[in-house]
Structure 1
Amino acid sequence: DENQDEIFRHVGLKAVNDCLDGFNCSIFAYGMTGTGKTYTIFGTKDYPGLVSRCCKAFFDYAMQRLSNDTFFEIR
């Protein structure tokens, strides 16, 4: 079993980087009831899932590149 960090590194980070390169991206969880889809996507306070980790990666990227002539818009 992969933990939340490993899943983000293998799946989420690629989606974030592709989005930052201008591609439209989505992550889809599919499987039987009770197999951990919601946990993987949303996680918990102690073990954040893909949504929290991807959002953090976007904001980290934006904060690293902020300057007076930089504009970021999130829709």
Structure 2
Amino acid sequence: MFAGSDRGGQTAATLMSLIATCKLLGVDPYRYLRDLLTELPSHQTDHLEEFLPDRWLQAHPEAKLTDHGKQK
């Protein structure tokens, strides 16, 4: 919509997709994205699957949300 450029639109779509996936899996999107953006720049590229929301949640069960959107 109003992303400023095609690249901005693609970036926004990726971010929205990650947030929607987190919500579907019951992952706290803020905690997930904060960790992703902090750790990803220094992470080995052959282990990027560790940052998929479902795998990340296995390593961070404290980030699981309840049915009401609050952490357990």
TM-score norm. by structure 2 comes to 0.30
Q: Which has the larger radius of gyration?
A: 1
TM-score norm. by structure 1 comes to 0.29
